[in-house]
Amino acid sequence: MTEARGSAGPNGVTHARHAPGTPCWVSLMVHGLAATQEFYGALFGWEFRPGPQQLGPYVRALLDGREVAGIGQLPPDRHLPVAWTPYLASNDVDLTADTVRLCGGTVGVGPLDAAEAGRMAICSDPSGAVFGIWQTAAHLGTAITGVPGTPAWNELVTFETVTVAKFYETVFGYEEEAAASADVDYVGLHLAGRPVAGIHGVGTALPRDRGPHWMTYFEVADADEAVERIVGLGGHVLRPAHDSAHGRVATVADPEGARFSVIQNPR
């Protein structure tokens, strides 16, 4: 993680419509919906209310009454990876999905309407990393960031950046900014000069059981305390809390194995 948004103050940033290409929502599909709600509710203080049911039982997580993420239940016969998935904003999800296919990606679900909320598709890039596309209608996406319990950053962890960065640049119109250090294979994805996501090439360090994947970072007030709480709630530590240029960060997994990171922004 070489770039990240800073803290937005005690009340966070409330978002309206997201510009195309901006990560605008994160969603998790799990087998045990009730147990997962208990875990994240205890960890982040989320409350839940029902969301669109097009793909099965689904809830939206709220923080202080504002939507921050979604959790859905996998059908019992579907053995898919349990993973947090970012959704990237689009003004025309059908056109974007066509572009994904033309650029070597795959459209696995949709495009389809999510009731009155919007229109969506779930895709994978040429390396196999899964992401979503979201076209707003009634549901604008993540309504608040910059406070503990909200998404802070999304980063693609993959083998190498060159090929896959071209894919995202073509599909979503990103500008690329390579890391300053030649020793790090990292590309920042920018829109209108502003960093919105990153791609980190880690080569053979990529977990064999996971493959290329998007990693969501959630802001916390205290990374060490969050890690202790995660373990106490049945989660696992994949990389202990450590200091980085953007704050103290740890990589963890929930009880079903969904990987995510927590980050404590420097004050």
**pLDDT per position as a tens digit, 74-114:** 987 766 779 999 999 999 999 999 999 999 999 999 899 98
Token digits of residue 77: 């016969």
Contact 98, 143 (CB under 8 A): no
Token digits of residue 213: 């994947």
Query: Using the 8-state DSSP alphabet, how is residue 97 labeled?
Result: H
pLDDT of residue 117: 83
Beta bridge partners of 106: 124
pLDDT of residue 136: 85
pLDDT of residue 98: 98
CA angle 79, 80, 85 (to 5 degrees): 160
- What are 120-155's pLDDT values in tens digits? 999 999 999 999 999 988 777 888 899 999 999 999
pTM across the whole model: 0.91
Residues recorded for the chain? 267
Give whole-number Cα distances, 43 to 3, 22, 172, 230, 246, in Å.
Answer: 25, 26, 33, 7, 22
Whether the pLDDT of residue 7 is over 50: the answer is no
